[in-house]
Amino acid sequence: MSGPGSGVPSGGWRIVVGCDDAGLAYKERIKADLLADPRVGAVDDLGVHDGDHTAYPHIGLAAARKVAAGEADRALLVCGTGIGMAISANKVPGVRATTAHDSFSVERSVKSNNCQVLTLGQRVVGVELARLLAREWLGHVFDPASASADKVAVIDAYEENRCG
Protein backbone atom coordinates (compact mmCIF):
# COMPACT_ATOMS: atom_id res chain seq x y z
CA MET A 1 0.00 0.00 0.00
CA SER A 2 1.32 3.43 -0.89
CA GLY A 3 -0.03 6.92 -1.16
CA PRO A 4 -1.94 9.25 1.16
CA GLY A 5 -2.51 7.94 4.66
CA SER A 6 -0.06 5.04 4.41
CA GLY A 7 3.06 7.10 5.04
CA VAL A 8 4.55 5.62 1.87
CA PRO A 9 5.17 8.30 -0.76
CA SER A 10 2.80 8.36 -3.71
CA GLY A 11 4.43 6.22 -6.36
CA GLY A 12 6.25 4.19 -3.69
CA TRP A 13 9.56 4.53 -1.90
CA ARG A 14 12.55 5.59 -3.97
CA ILE A 15 15.31 3.47 -2.48
CA VAL A 16 19.06 3.61 -3.06
CA VAL A 17 20.94 0.38 -2.36
CA GLY A 18 24.66 -0.09 -2.08
CA CYS A 19 27.36 -2.26 -0.58
CA ASP A 20 31.04 -2.99 -0.50
CA ASP A 21 32.58 -6.37 -1.34
CA ALA A 22 31.61 -7.72 2.09
CA GLY A 23 27.92 -6.99 1.53
CA LEU A 24 27.38 -7.93 -2.11
CA ALA A 25 25.39 -11.14 -1.64
CA TYR A 26 22.92 -9.54 0.80
CA LYS A 27 22.58 -6.37 -1.26
CA GLU A 28 21.65 -8.41 -4.32
CA ARG A 29 19.10 -10.51 -2.39
CA ILE A 30 17.51 -7.51 -0.65
CA LYS A 31 17.47 -5.52 -3.90
CA ALA A 32 15.44 -8.33 -5.50
CA ASP A 33 13.02 -8.20 -2.55
CA LEU A 34 12.69 -4.42 -2.85
CA LEU A 35 12.01 -4.61 -6.57
CA ALA A 36 9.20 -7.11 -5.87
CA ASP A 37 7.66 -5.06 -3.04
CA PRO A 38 4.58 -3.01 -4.07
CA ARG A 39 5.59 -0.28 -1.60
CA VAL A 40 8.73 0.42 -3.62
CA GLY A 41 8.54 2.61 -6.71
CA ALA A 42 12.20 2.62 -7.73
CA VAL A 43 15.52 1.07 -6.72
CA ASP A 44 18.81 2.74 -7.63
CA ASP A 45 21.79 0.38 -7.25
CA LEU A 46 25.06 2.22 -6.58
CA GLY A 47 27.06 -0.99 -6.45
CA VAL A 48 29.29 -2.64 -5.88
CA HIS A 49 28.60 -5.20 -8.55
CA ASP A 50 30.28 -8.55 -9.07
CA GLY A 51 33.96 -7.92 -9.73
CA ASP A 52 33.92 -4.31 -8.47
CA HIS A 53 36.03 -3.22 -5.55
CA THR A 54 34.83 0.07 -4.07
CA ALA A 55 35.46 0.83 -0.41
CA TYR A 56 32.38 1.34 1.77
CA PRO A 57 32.88 5.08 2.44
CA HIS A 58 32.45 5.91 -1.25
CA ILE A 59 29.18 3.98 -1.48
CA GLY A 60 27.84 5.22 1.88
CA LEU A 61 28.55 8.85 1.02
CA ALA A 62 27.12 8.56 -2.50
CA ALA A 63 23.89 7.00 -1.21
CA ALA A 64 23.50 9.57 1.55
CA ARG A 65 24.05 12.43 -0.90
CA LYS A 66 21.18 11.10 -3.03
CA VAL A 67 18.92 11.04 0.04
CA ALA A 68 20.01 14.53 1.13
CA ALA A 69 19.41 15.89 -2.39
CA GLY A 70 15.89 14.44 -2.49
CA GLU A 71 16.77 12.02 -5.29
CA ALA A 72 15.84 9.10 -3.02
CA ASP A 73 13.59 8.75 0.01
CA ARG A 74 15.75 6.18 1.75
CA ALA A 75 18.90 4.11 1.39
CA LEU A 76 19.68 0.55 2.40
CA LEU A 77 23.39 -0.20 2.63
CA VAL A 78 25.29 -3.40 3.42
CA CYS A 79 28.88 -3.97 4.44
CA GLY A 80 30.53 -6.48 6.76
CA THR A 81 29.07 -5.04 9.97
CA GLY A 82 26.92 -2.14 8.76
CA ILE A 83 28.94 0.18 10.96
CA GLY A 84 31.22 1.69 8.32
CA MET A 85 28.32 2.43 6.02
CA ALA A 86 26.40 4.13 8.84
CA ILE A 87 29.37 6.26 9.84
CA SER A 88 29.95 7.31 6.23
CA ALA A 89 26.31 8.13 5.52
CA ASN A 90 26.02 10.14 8.74
CA LYS A 91 28.72 12.54 7.50
CA VAL A 92 26.29 13.95 4.92
CA PRO A 93 24.28 16.87 6.38
CA GLY A 94 20.59 16.13 6.69
CA VAL A 95 21.01 12.36 6.74
CA ARG A 96 20.44 10.06 9.70
CA ALA A 97 21.74 6.52 9.29
CA THR A 98 21.84 3.60 11.67
CA THR A 99 22.91 0.01 11.87
CA ALA A 100 20.17 -2.24 13.16
CA HIS A 101 20.10 -5.97 13.73
CA ASP A 102 16.68 -6.45 15.31
CA SER A 103 13.09 -5.49 14.55
CA PHE A 104 12.64 -3.10 17.46
CA SER A 105 15.75 -1.09 16.54
CA VAL A 106 14.64 -0.88 12.91
CA GLU A 107 11.23 0.41 14.02
CA ARG A 108 12.61 2.95 16.48
CA SER A 109 15.28 4.17 14.06
CA VAL A 110 12.47 5.48 11.86
CA LYS A 111 9.71 6.28 14.35
CA SER A 112 11.91 7.86 17.04
CA ASN A 113 14.83 9.19 15.02
CA ASN A 114 13.56 9.71 11.46
CA CYS A 115 16.45 7.71 10.02
CA GLN A 116 16.39 7.55 6.25
CA VAL A 117 19.28 5.10 5.95
CA LEU A 118 19.37 1.54 7.25
CA THR A 119 22.67 -0.31 7.23
CA LEU A 120 23.07 -4.03 7.74
CA GLY A 121 26.05 -6.27 8.39
CA GLN A 122 26.38 -9.35 6.18
CA ARG A 123 28.88 -10.81 8.66
CA VAL A 124 26.61 -10.09 11.62
CA VAL A 125 23.07 -11.21 10.74
CA GLY A 126 21.69 -14.09 8.72
CA VAL A 127 20.27 -13.38 5.30
CA GLU A 128 16.68 -14.18 6.28
CA LEU A 129 16.84 -11.78 9.23
CA ALA A 130 18.32 -9.10 6.97
CA ARG A 131 15.49 -9.60 4.48
CA LEU A 132 12.89 -9.42 7.28
CA LEU A 133 14.39 -6.22 8.67
CA ALA A 134 14.36 -4.60 5.23
CA ARG A 135 10.67 -5.51 4.75
CA GLU A 136 9.76 -4.17 8.19
CA TRP A 137 11.77 -0.97 7.58
CA LEU A 138 9.61 -0.16 4.56
CA GLY A 139 6.51 -0.17 6.75
CA HIS A 140 7.74 2.37 9.28
CA VAL A 141 7.30 6.11 8.87
CA PHE A 142 8.23 9.06 11.05
CA ASP A 143 5.33 11.05 12.48
CA PRO A 144 6.32 14.74 12.65
CA ALA A 145 3.62 15.22 15.32
CA SER A 146 5.08 12.50 17.57
CA ALA A 147 6.80 13.06 20.91
CA SER A 148 10.07 12.28 19.13
CA ALA A 149 9.73 15.18 16.70
CA ASP A 150 11.13 17.71 19.18
CA LYS A 151 14.20 15.53 19.74
CA VAL A 152 14.83 15.15 16.02
CA ALA A 153 14.39 18.93 15.65
CA VAL A 154 17.22 19.50 18.15
CA ILE A 155 19.54 17.35 16.01
CA ASP A 156 18.42 19.11 12.83
CA ALA A 157 18.95 22.57 14.36
CA TYR A 158 22.43 21.68 15.58
CA GLU A 159 23.39 20.34 12.19
CA GLU A 160 21.98 23.35 10.38
CA ASN A 161 23.85 25.78 12.67
CA ARG A 162 27.06 23.83 12.28
CA CYS A 163 26.86 22.99 8.57
CA GLY A 164 24.39 25.50 7.15
Q: In this structure, how many other beta carbons lie within 10 angstroms of the beta carbon of residue 41?
A: 16
> Has 79 been annotated as catalytic?
yes
What is the maximum span of the chain, computed from C-alpha positions, in angstroms? 46
3-state SS class at 102: coil
DSSP state of 22: G
- The catalytic residue among 19, 79, 115, 163 is 79
CA distance 71 to 127: 28
Strand (E) or helix (H) holding 45: strand 40-45
The residue type found at 29 is: R
Catalytic positions, written as ranges: 79
